[in-house]
Structure 1
Amino acid sequence: MKNLAFALSILGALSTSPAWAWGNHSLPAYRALEAMPEVANASPVIAEPLEAFLKAEEKTLEALLASQEAWAAANLENYPARPAALAFTAKPGRTDETRRLAFLSALRVAPNSKFALYIQPDPRTSSAAGNLLPYAAVNTLPEPPHSTYKFAALKAGDPVAPLSVVASAADEPDYGLDINLWDDSPSEWGKTYGFGTLPFGNPALSFSTQAPFHMGFMHESRVLYMAAPFLKRTFPRLRSYQYSTLAALAFRTGHPYWGWRFTGLSLHYLQDLTQPYHASLAPGDSTTKLLWANALAMAGMSGMKDDMIVLLSNRHLALEKYQTELLENAAHSKQDSAIEKALRNTDKDGNYPEWSEHYLRDVVSTQAAAAGPQLVQTLVAAMPPGYVSDPAFDFGTKEDTINLVTELAKVDPAARAKLDAAIAELLANFGAHSRNAVRGILKASNR
């Protein structure tokens, strides 16, 4: 079996709607890092436009981006080499706009990415009053319905708390940075970046084109990889490494604002992979079940496959919506729940190996993939059956009309408590791994 059509169907379905791993990453990032003295007690830094950083460090960036490419070629399986024409070369006489474009092209991120000067104020401690930016000033994607995002403008030279910089940037990769980067994308840049065709999903849908950079299927069975080799064409490790090494360089060269900003960007991909639905193809379903459903579909009996795809999508979306509601409710009420306490809890930090360039694969995604089967059982037991156990129901089309906190208040309190505890455990991992990554970046920068 050269190609597992079922896996393609699963990933196509899961990547056609904006299923972010943890909703707005800034909320849990604020809670996780406010417990870390190296961040919370760090002196304010001065906001600096990206163009100023690039101009000041053009030669060091040339060397760093070359070393990133060498690392990726040596360490990432199925890595598509960056076209030689995209290499970043120092050219002091060029314009700021041309230099910026060269930098973003060398990273192979969307060249229309905003990289505005802004923060997301912490709703727990700030009313976000003041000079607010429109959504489109920060994000190239359409504003979602019922958006609660608020962006406060910074000016060059403004002092800003590192906690605000890094927590805000932890959500930024969802603002269009990884959109339309493929040969078959409806963009000019995708056709020059060399990533090949989109490995799964619909290239005409922006959320599909982002998914391979925010999901990583690193612990599937050998049989599944043989049947579906495209599962290995995901690149969160690339992005994490690019931004973490940029952060260390920025710190070392006297640009602490960009040190913290790149740190937050790097954290996003690690945080995505603490979510089991981003770290494994089909949490709770065995390889045997996947192969059997695929075989039936190839024989003209697609019912089992179709039902599994709907249930996977519904469960993924329901989990993310529920934890987002819990975090937002706690932030706006300024009251702790078990989730906030878990995010701040540093007791687990020392239970993991020291941060390294392989930590995301060897520690983060390994843990999340292993947690998947039990999480699915807990989720199904707690959620209303119509939302997560009925393949005739499409959660994605009804999501805006559903309040899961209200719905789960009506179910078995023991089942809900078990789900809340499972989410708290996942977010405890989110917090511990985020702090360990920050420690690793600071160590690499000699801070």
Structure 2
Amino acid sequence: MADMNFTGPEPDLNELLAARPQLGLHAQDGLCLENVPLNAIADQYGTPVWVYGAQTMRARFAALRDAFAAETVPMHIHYAVKANDHLAILNLFHEQGAGADVVSIGEFLRATKAGIAARDIVYSGVGKSEAELETALSAGIGQINAESAEEVDMISAIAARLGVVANIALRMNPDVDAGTHAKITTGLAENKFGIAAADIPALYARASGLPGVRVAGIAMHIGSQILSTEPYRHAYGKGAEMVRALREAGQSVEVLDLGGGLGIGYQDGPGLSPAAFAAMVRQATNGLGVKLMMEPGRYLVGPAGLLLASVILRKQTGKRFLVLDAAMNDLMRPAMYEAWHGILPVDAAAFQGMATPADVVGPICESADQFAKDRILPDLRPGARVALLDAGAYGAVMSSAYNARPRAAAVLVDHGGFELITRRQEPEALWDGEIVPGA
């Protein structure tokens, strides 16, 4: 099971640990997140359990913000709610000054519940319904990134009926290959997202004359888990060319929304450097005189979260299996994307033990329920705890109750302590709301 962005030998336990300053290993307490022992969390709340580091998220937001400040590039940062929509996390980024990027009315309502003002929210996504648009416009949403001519007409009709003005940006598909997994690319012509660049000028001109619509500018998003600045440089160059062409045609262009997608290091690499990204943005947009916006998600929350699990049993059938109490219903990424997640034992002594290959799997009745194949790990006995790393993004938000498995609890680590932010789902809640006719 290999991440498509990972080549070369797999990092060992100590290399994984060394690459993550938010983690530490204490001789007696074992593996810690932000100096809080994971064993203490598991002792109190059981496993599987999501664990998030608040200070790690704050530090990553500050690193991105400061990188743009160093390049004297004013950047409006909107956290991509789809990466992790927990109210506690949304509130944390709101306190740091972030807006929100949402792709459904549920995410919009979550963001406002967490204290983010509607005017600081960008609504993206290819399939916004009339009811969703009406709710967002009635609440005074800041910007809608329109993905088609048909959507522009929908927005105009709804806004005119409500007597409001919708600020929109046209999402341009730049047809740029970001070099990521096929299931997370969004900027190719074959993808469902955005409007072909050739169609932008005519639609921009027509939309500018529609009732209830104010066309603010251009939006882009080319994919997720991007580890090089080059795809961005190519795409943003096309975006800058479009801004200039529209202005030459007499259109007003005030906004260039750059999207998100900054990759992180799932193995022992650093991921995409905020400083390199900010420098590239400055070069690509120099002299445009537009309001710059971006919507990072994974970069901010991915390394801040982990899934804490326990070994149920060891199984030997010609090869070694470690069966965890966590499963693909908890962390879907390995099954869906062949994604690679580091796995560390929580016990400090295990780091010194002899390590051999093992498949790390869950208890679900699917062959895809596998977290790692032939991973070099020590002899972990039933009851031993492990941390599945870099699971703060697209982990809990993609989880389900498949196989009637209750959803896991979640804990936030902050200021040397920890606090429950999601209760473990009770088994009875699995069928709450269901109706048996005639019963």
Give TM class, smaller chain.
under 0.3
Please, what TM-score do these two structures have when normalized by structure 1? 0.27
Q: Which has the higher helix share?
A: 1
User: Which structure is richer in relative contact order (CA contacts within 8 A, separation 6 or more)?
Assistant: 1
Larger radius of gyration: 2
Please, what TM-score do these two structures have when normalized by structure 2? 0.27
Q: Which has the higher strand share?
A: 2
